[in-house]
Protein backbone atom coordinates (compact mmCIF):
# COMPACT_ATOMS: atom_id res chain seq x y z
CA UNK A 1 0.00 0.00 0.00
CA UNK A 2 2.84 2.39 0.80
CA UNK A 3 4.32 1.77 -2.63
CA UNK A 4 1.00 2.66 -4.29
CA UNK A 5 0.73 5.82 -2.19
CA UNK A 6 4.30 6.74 -3.13
CA UNK A 7 3.52 6.33 -6.85
CA UNK A 8 0.39 8.48 -6.50
CA UNK A 9 2.45 11.14 -4.70
CA UNK A 10 4.99 11.12 -7.54
CA UNK A 11 2.27 11.66 -10.13
CA UNK A 12 0.65 14.38 -8.00
CA UNK A 13 3.98 16.20 -7.90
CA UNK A 14 4.29 15.99 -11.69
CA UNK A 15 0.71 17.22 -12.20
CA UNK A 16 0.92 19.94 -9.55
CA UNK A 17 0.42 22.79 -12.06
CA UNK A 18 -2.84 21.18 -13.24
CA UNK A 19 -3.94 20.46 -9.65
CA UNK A 20 -3.32 24.07 -8.63
CA UNK A 21 -5.26 25.26 -11.69
CA UNK A 22 -8.21 23.07 -10.66
CA UNK A 23 -8.06 20.91 -13.79
CA UNK A 24 -6.99 17.77 -11.94
CA UNK A 25 -9.08 17.01 -8.84
CA UNK A 26 -7.68 13.64 -7.81
CA UNK A 27 -4.85 11.17 -8.31
CA UNK A 28 -5.25 7.56 -7.17
CA UNK A 29 -2.85 4.65 -7.59
CA UNK A 30 -3.85 1.04 -8.00
CA UNK A 31 -2.74 -2.35 -9.23
CA UNK A 32 -4.14 -3.89 -12.41
CA UNK A 33 -3.88 -7.65 -12.41
CA UNK A 34 -3.20 -9.50 -15.59
CA UNK A 35 -2.84 -13.17 -16.34
CA UNK A 36 -0.46 -15.48 -14.51
CA UNK A 37 3.10 -15.92 -15.67
CA UNK A 38 3.24 -19.50 -16.98
CA UNK A 39 6.82 -19.95 -15.79
CA UNK A 40 6.34 -18.77 -12.21
CA UNK A 41 2.55 -19.13 -11.71
CA UNK A 42 2.61 -15.66 -10.16
CA UNK A 43 0.08 -13.01 -11.14
CA UNK A 44 1.34 -10.45 -13.62
CA UNK A 45 0.20 -6.87 -13.25
CA UNK A 46 1.21 -3.26 -13.34
CA UNK A 47 0.78 -0.02 -11.48
CA UNK A 48 -1.91 2.24 -12.84
CA UNK A 49 -2.82 5.74 -11.80
CA UNK A 50 -6.25 7.25 -12.28
CA UNK A 51 -6.28 11.01 -12.71
CA UNK A 52 -9.66 12.66 -12.11
CA UNK A 53 -10.31 15.78 -14.20
CA UNK A 54 -12.86 18.53 -13.53
CA UNK A 55 -14.31 18.49 -17.03
CA UNK A 56 -17.21 17.04 -18.95
CA UNK A 57 -14.68 15.98 -21.58
CA UNK A 58 -11.64 14.57 -19.74
CA UNK A 59 -10.29 13.13 -22.97
CA UNK A 60 -9.39 16.69 -24.02
CA UNK A 61 -6.88 16.85 -21.16
CA UNK A 62 -5.44 13.40 -21.73
CA UNK A 63 -2.66 14.43 -24.17
CA UNK A 64 -1.30 17.07 -21.77
CA UNK A 65 -1.51 14.77 -18.74
CA UNK A 66 0.06 11.88 -20.63
CA UNK A 67 2.89 14.11 -21.91
CA UNK A 68 3.68 15.34 -18.39
CA UNK A 69 3.66 11.83 -16.92
CA UNK A 70 5.67 10.38 -19.84
CA UNK A 71 8.37 13.01 -19.39
CA UNK A 72 8.54 12.31 -15.67
CA UNK A 73 8.55 8.55 -16.25
CA UNK A 74 11.56 8.89 -18.51
CA UNK A 75 13.42 10.68 -15.73
CA UNK A 76 12.04 9.07 -12.56
CA UNK A 77 10.66 5.70 -13.68
CA UNK A 78 7.07 6.46 -12.76
CA UNK A 79 3.99 4.32 -13.29
CA UNK A 80 3.30 2.24 -16.37
CA UNK A 81 -0.24 3.43 -17.16
CA UNK A 82 -2.32 6.51 -16.49
CA UNK A 83 -6.10 6.63 -16.82
CA UNK A 84 -8.04 9.90 -17.02
CA UNK A 85 -11.61 10.02 -15.75
CA UNK A 86 -14.30 12.64 -15.33
CA UNK A 87 -14.94 14.00 -11.85
CA UNK A 88 -18.33 13.05 -10.41
CA UNK A 89 -20.87 15.49 -8.99
CA UNK A 90 -19.50 17.66 -6.24
pLDDT digits (tens, 9 = 90+) for 55-72: 888 888 888 988 887 877
- Higher per-residue confidence, 83 vs 6: 6
Evaluate whether residue 35 is within a structural domain: yes
Domain count, the chain: 1
The whole-model pTM stands at 0.68
| Alpha-helix runs per DSSP H in 1-90 | 2-14, 16-20, 62-76
pLDDT digits (tens, 9 = 90+) for 17-62: 999 999 999 888 777 776 665 666 655 667 777 888 988 888 888 8
Domain coverage including residue 45: 1-17+28-49+65-90
Amino acid sequence: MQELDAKAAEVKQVLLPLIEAGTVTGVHAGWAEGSENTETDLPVGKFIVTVTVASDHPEQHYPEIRRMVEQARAVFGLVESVWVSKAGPI
